[in-house]
Amino acid sequence: MPTVALYNISGEQVGELTLKDEIFGVEVHESVLHDAVVMQLAGRRLGTHDTKTRSEVSGGGRKPWRQKGTGRARHGTIRSPIWRGGGIVFGPHPRDYGYSLPKKVRRLALKSALSSKVNAGDILVLDELRLEKPKTKDMARILNNLKVDDALLVTAEKDESVEKSARNIPNIKPLIATGLNVYDILAYDKLVMTRDAVAKVEEVFAQ
C-alpha cells in the first residue's frame, strides 16, 4: 500500500498516512485518462453556434424575375444558398457535445489520475485545514509553508472559509472530495488533500 507524509498547516511532517492500494496504487492507464479528459472538455462546450438556413434569412419573398424569357438562370428566391446574403446549407446549429463513458471506465480514470499523483510524489495530505474566517493572506501563508504554488486543494466537505480564502490565489483551486475529477487532478502540479478528504474518497470508491 502506498504511504504518504502527513503535514500540518505549518508545513511540518507530523506522521504518515497509508492509502488504499485499490484507489491510490493502481496501474496508470494513459488511454483511459485521455478518454476521460476529452469527455470532460466535450461536456464544457457550449454548442451555441448557429447559422441561418434559407428559410431563416430575411428577404427573398418573391421570385426575382420571371421563369422564362430573360436569358438568365431560373431562380425562385434571392435567399438561395448560391446568392450573396443567402442561407447557409450545411452550417453549424446548436447541439450538445456531451457524452458519457461507462461508470467503470470513469472510476478507473479517476483512480489512475490519483495514482499518477502518488507515483510522482505530487500529493500532499494535511492532518487538518481549518480557518476561523475567510482570509486570503492566511491561506497563502499555509500554501507557502507547504511550498505549493500550483495545486488542487481538496476538502472533505464544503468549507466557505477555505473556499473564499483560496479562490483568489492564482493557480489554486478549492474543491470538495465529491467533486474530484480527472481533468482538475491532471491540470494542477500538486494535489493537496486533507486527511478527511482522503477518507471520503476512499469511502466513495469502496461502495
Beta partners for residue 126, in sequence order: 7, 194
Q: Which three cell numbers stand for residue 155?
A: 476538502
pLDDT at 207: 58
Cβ-contact 118, 25 below 8 angstroms: yes
* pTM for this predicted structure: 0.84
Per-residue pLDDT at 194 exceeds 90: yes
The DSSP code for 102 is -
The DSSP code for 177 is G
Instruction: Report the DSSP pairing between strands 123-126 and 190-194.
Output: parallel
pLDDT in tens, 166-179: 999 999 999 999 99
Element (H, E) at 154: strand 151-155
Element (H, E) at 5: strand 3-7
Q: Domain segments of the chain: what residues? A: 3-46+101-206, 51-91
Instruction: Report the DSSP pairing between strands 123-126 and 3-7.
Output: parallel
Element (H, E) at 183: helix 182-187
CA proximity to 15, closest of 121, 114, 128, 115: 128
pLDDT at 205: 82
Q: How far apart are CA 146 and CA 151, in angstroms?
A: 11
Kindly indicate the confidence band of residue 59, based on its pLDDT and cuts at 50, 70 and 90.
confident
pLDDT at 60: 80
CATH 3.40.50.720 fits 3-46+101-206, yes or no: no
pLDDT in tens, 61-97: 889 999 999 999 999 999 999 999 999 999 999 999 9
Question: What is the rounded average pLDDT for all residues in the chain?
Answer: 94
